[in-house]
A and B are shown apart, each in its own frame.
Chain A
């Protein structure tokens, strides 16, 4: 053993290989089971994919760095479940490339924010958080209402997501731009296609209350309103557990 070590240490290349091998084995052994983790993720047959408008909104969420202050991961602790809702299941972020579990709560967790507040509340809050919550330290996001959301390339976005494993159909990809417009324009002829492709429960409405254009605000609010609602498996499980307790 000492002879062996002296040898590898004297030849730089051997030494380097030793470091590579030794440290990567540890890392590999720990993460290796995670490449088969999908076997352990709960089943959620009712789970749908994000609509193109929600994808655009999610990308705005990333762009503005919301994940730095808001987690999307409710831990299995009593106070968290009571404060935020049923704890997060692995399956709920199955289509999240990347995941947004977060590491810090300067603001509250958002894993169950969808449907908790009205669209108008979100719009007012994003425009100036302190109009709604006077003590808030969240930044203002005034430009979201001024910027039109880019929809012409959403088909390419969906195609890239399909390449990493999100089951978008050819039809969804072909109609991505129209669907994004339609979801925020309930009176337009494109609205029907959204419900057809993404399900009747999909929220088709004027999220920012402005009929003139589909803004970044529309997209972000559409995303915020779907967080935690792609599947209701977490709620079902919580209800089952409660019944079991009785």
Chain B
């Protein structure tokens, strides 16, 4: 892959990697008494490793000019594989922490293996590792096709993808060592945050530069969503992570905000991370791969525009519904609740638009599990956004908040919407990227579909039950006017549901393992022998004389 870079790009890569290695070295030296030193070592080892990779092909011949008449898909391929790897890690961690809640001693007597440190590995692993890599990989793919233009440069896509994964590795390794800001979904410490800003700005510039090269006059709606994802995540990330580090040799920092201000900032971030990371980006996937796979244009382009601006505008206001009945001023709570309710309109417009696109193609949905993944995702998106608006009502929230209902809601969105739309997109894009006729096994896609659906349903139902029971037990009074249940009574009542939840998660994990095997076998399959598609093979690696093996 390095040989595909021009010699100028190889030199640039070398300079960046050496600079990064030096930063790692400095972190290791300055922070030798602190976890930041371990992080420095990780940075050093990874960048030196990549340096050798670049050096090995530094003087390889220049790539042919032919490449410019094709799309640049290598980073997308690597991104898809990384997404699956992170997905397996993140979901396996999820099953482990779920099991720990049912059987708390199912671990080692060591800090790294305790629930509180494993949990962020699960959340970051699936959200940032799995979701983030899938977003980056598909955004490159969609951006080029809808712009009819090749990515601007070959270095910055790699910098974005690998730099982002370095951030994920730093994050996960840090959690095991107890390095965390303790802000949910923004746990990585200051230096990882700074690094992510650099990567994200590069991502943004790459996107803009490619769009500027586009040959289509109109920017297709999927790009609007990807763009909103990139931009707003940058704003959220920078504001919520403002902090003062103890010193350059300490991983630890203190948040710039405190108390009520910090709470508001955190949930403004948290809720909009759901909106712009877990919704906008994945809607971008949906608006491209679903019509493409169904072979039908999106039902209403007008509706997609209206819902885009609705989501972009209104989500920003809704964050305070996470803080009902707290020390937050009441008007902010009311505003958050109102906008959460109104938000249902653009959300359902998107879900309805997706389903209406499939109207008339139901036979395809029946026969093609890939398309069915995307249809189910749209259904779960509709359900989860309805539930979200419902839970944002103050009175409902008084029961549901702090309980497993929230966890169930999050997973209805994360498993049902985010993961299903991602799997649907991955199954569409893998044969496309690797120039195969189809996935290795349609039957295995079918198996994955049912494992994923069963896992999601078991999980969500278990959490609905446990959450509502929990909430009711906490507020039940007996005849004499005192609370009926002690807290531990509610913990005991959760046990069967926690077992069910771990089982649901296990089914979902099995699904992604099936997916990984299917992708692996697809890559190993012989390329499709279509005369039209040979022209734009990204890497004409095969030796011309040898014909493709029959089996």
Contacts and interface: CB of A to CB of B under 8 A. Distances in A.
A75 B254 contact: no
Contact of B109 (A79, A103, A142): A142
B184 A9 contact: no
Interface in A14-68: 15-16, 19-20, 22-24, 26-27, 30-31, 33-35, 37-38, 40-41, 59, 62-68
Interface in B303-322: 309, 312-314, 316-317, 319-320, 322
B45 interface: no
B326 A30 contact: no
Contacts of A30: 268, 316-317, 319-320, 332, 335-336
Interface stretch (B243-251, B421-429, B512-520): B243-251
B312 to A, nearest CB: 5
A89 B327 CA distance: 6
B178 interface: yes
A83 B261 contact: no
A104 B119 CA distance: 13
Contacts of B92: none
Interface in A163-180: 163-166
Contact of A31 (B184, B268, B477): B268
Contacts of A101: 263, 323, 326
Contacts of B353: none
Given A77-B325, A93-B259, A9 B182 contact: no
B278 to A, nearest CB: 16
Nearest to B255: A98
Nearest to A142: B109
A100 B482 CA distance: 29
A68 B474 contact: no
Contacts of B262: 93, 96-99
Contacts of A41: 259-260
Contacts of A38: 261
A135 interface: yes
Contacts of A15: 219, 224, 227
A139 B320 contact: no
Contact of A12 (B179, B208, B259, B407): B208
A113 interface: no
Q: Please indicate which of the listed interface residues A19, A27, A153 has the most CB atoms of chain B within 10 Å of its own CB.
A: A27
Contacts of A66: 116
Interface string A110-154: 000000000000000000011001011111111100000000010
A164 B258 contact: yes
Contacts of A239: none
Contacts of B483: 79, 82-83
A13 B257 CA distance: 32
B258 A94 contact: yes
Contact of A99 (B102, B263, B314): B263
A139 B246 contact: no
B438 interface: no
A10 interface: yes
A23 B257 contact: no
Contacts, number: 252
Contact of A27 (B107, B182, B263, B316): B316
B403 A64 contact: no
Given A30-B268, A96-B259, A97-B262, A65 B119 contact: yes
Given A95-B258, A99-B259, A161-B254, A34 B265 contact: yes
A9 to B, nearest CB: 6
B101 to A, nearest CB: 6
B364 to A, nearest CB: 32
A183 to B, nearest CB: 20
Contacts of B180: 62-63, 65
Nearest to A105: B402
A215 interface: no
A80 B335 CA distance: 24
A62 B219 contact: no
A78 to B, nearest CB: 8
B258 A31 contact: no
A238 interface: no
Given A34-B264, A104-B407, A13 B208 contact: yes
Contacts of A185: none
Contacts of B488: 133, 135-136
B205 to A, nearest CB: 11
Contact of B231 (A19, A40, A141, A161): A19
Contacts of A163: 244, 254
B266 A106 contact: no
B232 A23 contact: yes
Contacts of A31: 264-265, 268
Contacts of A225: none
A26 B326 contact: no
B299 interface: no
A69 B184 CA distance: 12
A166 B247 CA distance: 17
B107 A139 contact: yes
Contacts of A27: 235, 268, 272, 316-317
A99 B244 CA distance: 15
B474 A164 contact: no
Nearest to A17: B231
B138 interface: no
B491 interface: yes
A9 B219 contact: yes
Contacts of B181: 62, 98
Contact of B183 (A40, A98, A105, A129): A98
A141 B142 CA distance: 48
A141 B246 contact: no
A63 B255 CA distance: 15
B491 A135 contact: yes
Interface in B201-237: 208, 211-212, 214, 217-219, 224, 227-228, 231-232, 235
Interface of B: 100-102, 104-105, 107, 109-111, 114-117, 119-120, 178-184, 208, 211-212, 214, 217-219, 224, 227-228, 231-232, 235, 243-247, 250, 252-266, 268, 272, 309, 312-314, 316-317, 319-320, 322-329, 332, 335-336, 398, 401-403, 406-407, 474-475, 477, 482-483, 487-488, 491-492, 498
15 contacts: A12-B214, A19-B224, A27-B235, A30-B335, A76-B325, A83-B483, A92-B259, A96-B262, A101-B263, A103-B322, A104-B407, A136-B491, A153-B247, A163-B244, A164-B258
Given A64-B117, A107-B491, 8 more contacts: A12-B214, A15-B219, A26-B314, A65-B114, A75-B325, A97-B254, A105-B403, A141-B114
Shortest Cβ-Cβ A-B pairs, 4 listed: A65-B116, A63-B178, A26-B316, A75-B325
